[in-house]
Structure 1
Amino acid sequence: MPILFEQVEQWPNLPFKFFQNDPREGIDYPAHWHPGIELNFLVAGAPLTFTANGVPYRYHPGDCWATDRRVIHSASGDSQATWDEFGFIIDETFLAHKLPSSGQWQVQMQGDQPRQAHPEAYQAIYDHGLAIRDLIAAGVDEYRRLAILSHFYALLIELGQHFTTSVSQTVTANPHLVDQVMATINRDYAQPLHGPALAEAAHVSLTTLNQQFQAHLQLTVGGYLRLVRLLNARRLLIETTSSIDYIAAVCGFGSTKSFQRNFKTWTGQSPAQFREQPTQKP
Structure 2
Amino acid sequence: MKPLRKSFDATGLFPFALNYRDTKTPQFELPDHVHDWHELVYVHSGRGTFFIQHTVYEMKAGDLFVIPSNTMHRAMPDGEQPVTSTALFFSPTFIKSPAFDEQWQPDQLFQSGMYLFELAETDREQFEESLRCMKHELDRQPEGFRTAVWLKLLAVLHHTCRSQAINRSRTLRASSGPDWLDTILTYVESEQSKDGGDKLSLSSLAKIANVSAAHFSRVFRQKTGMNVTDYLTTRRIIKAKQLLAATDDKVSWIATVCGFDSMTYFHRSFKKYVGMSPAKYRSSHTLD
Give the structure-1-normalised TM-score.
Answer: 0.52
1:59 alignment counterpart: 59
Q: 2:109 matched to 1:107?
A: no
Q: Tell whether the 8 Å contact from 2:5 to 2:33 is kept in structure 1 after alignment.
A: yes
Q: Between the two proteins, what is the percent identity of the paired residues?
A: 20
Aligned to 2:204: 261
Report the Cα offset of residue 270 of structure 1.
Answer: 4.1
Number of aligned residue pairs: give it: 195
Gaps of 5+ in 1: 166-212, 227-252
User: CA distance change for structure 1 residues 16 and 51 in 2, over 3 Å: closer, same or farther?
Assistant: same
Aligned equivalents of 1:275 and 1:4: distance in 2? Answer: 21
Aligned to 1:91: 91
Q: Is the 8 A contact 2:47 2:81 kept in 1?
A: no
Q: Equivalent residue of 2:31, what SS?
A: strand
Structure 1 residues 85, 50: CA separation in 2 closer, same or farther (over 3 Å shift)? same
2:97/2:106 contact within 8 Å kept: no
**1:261 counterpart SS class:** helix
Q: 1:50, CA displacement in angstroms? A: 0.8
Match of residue 133 from structure 1:
135
Give the gaps of 5 or more residues in structure 2: 167-188, 226-288
- Decide whether the 8 Å contact of 2:62 with 2:124 is kept in 1: no
With over 3 angstroms needed to count, the CA separation of the structure-2 counterparts of 1:128 and 1:220, relative to structure 1, is: farther
1:64-114 Cα deviation digits (max 9, x unpaired): 211123211111123455543221122222223455955775134434xx3
Would the aligned equivalents of 1:21 and 1:27 in 2 still touch at CA under 8 Å? no
In 1, the alpha carbon distance for the partners of 2:157 and 2:17 equals: 15
- The code of the aligned residue for 1:219 comes to S
Name the aligned partner's letter for residue 133 of structure 1: K
Give the alignment partner of residue 215 of structure 2, picking from 273, 278, 281: 273
Task: Specify the code of the residue in structure 1 equivalent to 2:118.
Answer: R
Match of 1:34 in 2: 35
Q: What CA distance in whole angstroms lies between the structure 1 residues aligned with 2:17 and 2:126?
A: 20
What is residue 228 of structure 2 aligned with on the other side? Answer: none
| SS of residue matched to 2:111 | strand
Distance, in Å, in 2 between the alignment partners of 1:29 and 1:164 is 32
Distance 2:155 2:67 in 1: 18
1: distance between equivalents of 2:23 and 2:118? 26
Q: Which residue does the alignment assign to 2:143?
A: 142
Give 1:47's aligned residue.
47
Deviates more, 1:9-18 or 1:54-63: 9-18
Aligned to 2:154: 153
Aligned-partner SS, 2:7 = coil
Q: Secondary structure at the match of 1:30?
A: coil
* TM-score, normalization by structure 2: 0.51
Contact 2:69/2:92, CA 8 A, preserved across alignment: no
Q: Is the Cα contact below 8 Å between 1:27 and 1:75 reproduced in 2?
A: no
User: Relative to 1, partners in 2 of residues 1:259 and 1:21: Cα closer, same or farther, differing over 3 Å?
Assistant: farther
Matches within 5 A, 1:1-282: 1-9=1-9, 14-20=14-20, 23=23, 26=27, 28-44=29-45, 46-79=46-79, 81=81, 83-98=83-98, 101=105, 106-111=111-116, 114-115=117-118, 124-136=126-138, 138-161=139-162, 219-220=193-194, 258-263=201-206, 265=208, 269-274=211-216, 280-281=222-223, 282=225
SS at match of 1:142: coil
CA distance in 2, matches of 1:31, 1:155: 27
Cα distance in 2, alignment partners of residues 103 and 20 from structure 1: 22
> Judging changes above 3 Å, is the alpha-carbon distance between structure 1 residues 276 and 52 closer, same or farther for their aligned structure 2 residues?
closer
Q: Closer, same or farther in 2 for the Cα pair 1:107/1:128, shift >3 Å?
A: farther
